[in-house]
Amino acid sequence: MSATRFVDLIHTFDWEQTQTKLGCVTLSFFYFVCVYFATNAISYIFLTYRNLKTKEKVFWNLAVARGNFGFFAIVIGLWALFVDNELHKDVVFATTPISHFAMCTTTGFFLFECLMVLWSDIYFKQFNMLLNIHHWVSLIGYSIVLTNGSTHYLGCRGLLLEMSTPFSCLCWTLLKADLAHSFIWKANQFLLVHTFHTRSIIECYMWYITYMNWDAIWASMPAGTFYPLYLQLVLVTFIMTPYWTYKKTVQMINPVDWNFEESADAKRKKDKSANGHIKAN
């Protein structure tokens, strides 16, 4: 199916109907579930994947699913920024069939992501606070946007913040494939760091939009949408993006899988404490 025919198909649905939205969210959720398990099945062809630990295989499969969503988010974000002519007419309540489809797909992805992260945290006895906050706030926020039928203007543009996701996922898989010193890894890491710099620009742009439309936003944006949206924007602007930019810049110089390195360090400290090697002051 061509892109034009797919867009035409999206326009044939009645997006004001709750069952249409729930159906799209459900299809999105199971699409990413299928990507996860298909990645697991196909990746067994490769020795690199078969040699990974169970936890690393889960991360590998999630990386592919996240990369899929990242490309989707980039397309929607660029569409909202450069192609759309409707959403800017009302930054609070304007919607289009494509924006409805984007909000449903995004909600389905974050539902998948939150459930997988929750299962992973319980099964592997780990907890990544920033990742959990980011995904759960995103799930709640986009679910509210979908329910209220508002703020699609900012919601679609906000998807551009996922521009770093495909590069971040490729970075991790290349590390596990022992290609950390290859040209492709260095090129990808260079692009990854600069996508985080670009994220900061997008975040400033979101604040600028808010400033320019503050009267309409404050007067008419539903409170249930306003607070999760700006909580998320504050978190990504001042905490998450700066922290992840720093970590990925360090990783570009010192190619280490810092996700697993940090969990390994915590485990070693716990083992030392249990064996009496660390004395309390």
Length of the chain: 281
Dump pLDDT digits (tens) for 171-193.
999 999 999 889 999 999 999 99
CA distance 165 to 171: 10
In order of 121, 269, 271, 276, the CA distances from 265 in angstroms are 17, 6, 10, 17
Dump pLDDT digits (tens) for 219-240.
999 998 999 899 999 999 999 9
Identify the DSSP state of 236. I
When pLDDT is cut at 50, 70 and 90, the band that residue 42 belongs to is very high
Q: With pLDDT > 70 as the criterion, what percentage of the chain qualifies?
A: 91
- Residues 184, 174: contact at Cβ < 8 Å? yes
Q: Is the pTM of this model over 0.75?
A: yes
- Rounded to 5 degrees, what are φ and ψ at 256? -130, 145
In the predicted model, is pLDDT for residue 208 greater than 90? yes
pLDDT at 158: 95
CB crowding 201-236: b at 16 or more within 10 Å, else e:
ebbeebeebbeebeeebeeebbeebbebbbebbeeb
Residue type, 22: L
Residue 107 tokens read as 């909600």
Torsion over CA of 112, 117, 118 and 123, rounded to 10 degrees? 120
When pLDDT is cut at 50, 70 and 90, the band that residue 2 belongs to is confident
Beta strands in the chain (DSSP E): none
CA distance 47 to 44: 7
- Please compute the mean of the pLDDT values over residues 45-63 and round it to a whole number: 94
* Per-domain residue ranges of the chain: 14-274
CA distance 48 to 178: 9
